[in-house]
Amino acid sequence: MSQKTETLIDKNGLRIDGRRPDELRPIKVEVGVLSNADGSAYIEQGKNKILAAVYGPKELHPKHLALPDRMVLRCRYHMAPFSVQERKSPAPSRREIELSKVVREALEPAIFMEYYPRTAIDVFIEVLQADGGTRCASITVASLALADAGIPMRDLVAACSAGKVDDTIVLDLMDTEDKVGSADLPVAYMPNLGVVTLLQMDGILTLEEFEKAVNLAIDGCKRIYAMQKEALRAKYVSIKESEE
């Protein structure tokens, strides 16, 4: 987050990629893309390309990590070395360790953890291409992969960020807006339950701007939720049709 160095909103009120302030990037979601995982999903959100794979519930090793009254959710957020312009080291970075925790904590409230005591579920997130907002897109796609694995859930989790660029509150920041803009506020939300499971903020906003940004992000989550449901439906309709 740096001081403003270039114009991010043009004289027509449009952003550098031509979007209106309250517009999401183009999103494509697909469920069941990997045959060897118990559940999987893929998302493209603007230039972001992210895969999620779920294994489990399964016996936990080492056994002393197992919990007597609930399952253990393990998440690994990983960026491929070729996911950004300058090759990223394949070794786990502090940022990836932090984002693995952030994603896990955003997903846990959606899962009936108590249904599977002493077991584990592994969620692997592979960022193939990154362009800002990958933690949100990772939560969106991982929640779909969990649903695809048949894990009992209270709701899907949809995530989206809002923020401030050139004194304008905008939805779904891409990398340049995130870096050059003045605030970024990622939100994860369970629309059916009306529960926020992640709220972070980088930068400075007034109270009014904060409220506007949270409401805009939640609105973005609701729109993404509709696409998640459609992607799940598309997979199961195609299975049903192939059985007929």
E strand or H helix that includes residue 223? helix 207-243
Phi then psi dihedrals of residue 111, to 5 deg: -100, 140
SS3 content of the chain, % helix, strand, coil (to 5): 35, 30, 35
Extended beta strands in 68-180, E state: 72-79, 119-129, 158-165, 168-171
- The answer to whether residue 104 forms part of the interface with ligand ADP (CB under 6 A) is no
- The answer to whether residue 197 forms part of the interface with ligand ADP (CB under 6 A) is no
* Maximum CA extent, the chain: 61
Q: Which stretch binds ligand ADP (CB under 6 A): 37-45, 131-139, 189-197, 209-217?
A: 131-139
Match 């709701």 to its residue by tokens: 155
List 132, 181, 191, 220, residue binding ligand ADP (CB under 6 A) = 132
Q: How far is the CB of 153 from ligand ADP (least distance, A)?
A: 23
List 122, 172, 178, 209, residue binding ligand ADP (CB under 6 A) = 178
Q: Which of residues 72-101 bind ligand ADP (CB under 6 A)?
A: 84, 86, 88, 95
Residue 88, CA distances (Å) to 53, 102, 170, 193 in order = 22, 20, 28, 38
Q: Which stretch binds ligand ADP (CB under 6 A): 17-25, 56-64, 130-138, 189-197?
A: 130-138
List 133, 163, 181, 220, residue binding ligand ADP (CB under 6 A) = 133
**Site residues, ligand ADP (CB under 6 A):** 84, 86, 88, 95, 130-135, 175, 178
